[in-house]
Amino acid sequence: MYKNLGVSNSDIGLYTSFLYLPWVIKPFWSPIVDLYATKRKWFLWMQLILSLAFLGVGLSLPTSQFFVISLAFFWLASFASATNDIASDGFYLLALKEDQQSFFIGVRSTFYRIAMVTGQGLFVIVAGYLEIRFGDNAKAWSLTMVMIAGLMFILTLINLWTTPNVEKAKGYIKQESLTFWKVFESFFSKKEVWIALAFILLYRLGESQLVKMASPFLLDARESGGLNLSTSEVGLIYGTFGIIALSLGGIIGGIVISKDGLGKWMLPMILALNVPNLFYYFLAYFQPESAFYAGAVVVIEQLGYGFGFAAFMMYLIYVSEGPAKTSHYAIATGFMALGMMIPGMISGFIQEWLGYEGFFLWVVAAAIPGVLMVKYVKYPYEYGKKKAQQ
């Protein structure tokens, strides 16, 4: 959206990466979600706020100050979404046993990524169609954002009607001893926690930069090193073929962890997440005319991402075990968001400095520290494996 409204790559990378900040600092208010009301109430209210925030974005785009105003609404959406994460993650951890968590982690991460790819794909296709129809990018994206607000409101109503009161059904009792400081003390006193946090920060170091520049690369003019694809072509690549590949990768990842445990699949999965990024370099080097090659690379990358992300999410669940599981998971995912935010903030500047070819080589190199750390992180080899029936 911002690319088609004339915003530079460096501004896109910097300011949209700042939107990760609420996920980084969400541990500071996660105990409030644990202490007051149910997880279900929290995520329903946050989803309603999200629908209103997207409506605000849509209404702001035709204005002369669209960048500042839309970013303000995106900030509101980010805080609501980060809080929604705390509540829905806690809902997931309370409702399911360990083997169920591992089995459905691929499905869960797949739906998470489907939501992201829908933003990069389906709604980009819609916006591209409206750009052609109206001949006005601001009007096209404004209407698209209003549609997103409407969809978010419908999804909120669906969740209101369908999600169970799992905390009541499971007889969940909030820990009376839970306090703000005890939540943090119990997390940071875990054995080898700093190695775990370093691994969380490095797992997606390359991907965190790629995700910011992939769409600008596909859209950019050929003389600037891009592939000069249309908005609708990029939307189709991500929104159709990307979703299928991502879904398959995530579901397969969850199934194999449930079958064999996390230990067997950690290294193959982090490699699956990072190695396909090398194909972006080949796209930048050869700059093929046909969109087929770009589509093939996105399919391979999304398949690997879905597969590799399953191990990452399962490891976050392991790190979060213990008292105040909901808050501990929020802390772990806060570091995950930090690992996405900081590299993403500088990704646009690195791309403009190195060009697309050099940037994609840098993305591949940035993945190496995370891969090397696999041998140092500790967890039960069969963690997440489905238990045999007694």
Q: Which of 3-7, 49-53, 289-293, 302-306 has the lowest mean pLDDT?
A: 3-7
Average pLDDT rounded to a whole number, residues 47-54: 97
Give buried/exposed letters for 377-389 (b at 16+ CB in 10 A, else e): bebeeebbbbeee
- Model confidence at 288, pLDDT cuts 50, 70, 90, reads very high
User: Can you give the pTM of this predicted structure?
Assistant: 0.72
Kindly list the domain boundaries of the chain, sorted by start residue: 9-164+183-375
| pLDDT given at position 171 | 45
Rounded distance, CA 243 to CA 146, Å? Answer: 23
| pLDDT given at position 187 | 86
| pLDDT given at position 370 | 95
pLDDT digits (tens, 9 = 90+) for 167-225: 764 444 454 445 667 778 888 888 899 999 999 999 999 999 998 899 889 999 999 99
End-to-end Cα spacing for the chain:
54
Q: From 3.40.50.720, 3.30.460.10, 3.40.50.2300, 1.20.1250.20, which CATH number describes the 9-164+183-375 domain?
A: 1.20.1250.20
Rounded distance, CA 316 to CA 313, Å? Answer: 5
Question: How does the average pLDDT of the chain come out, rounded?
Answer: 87
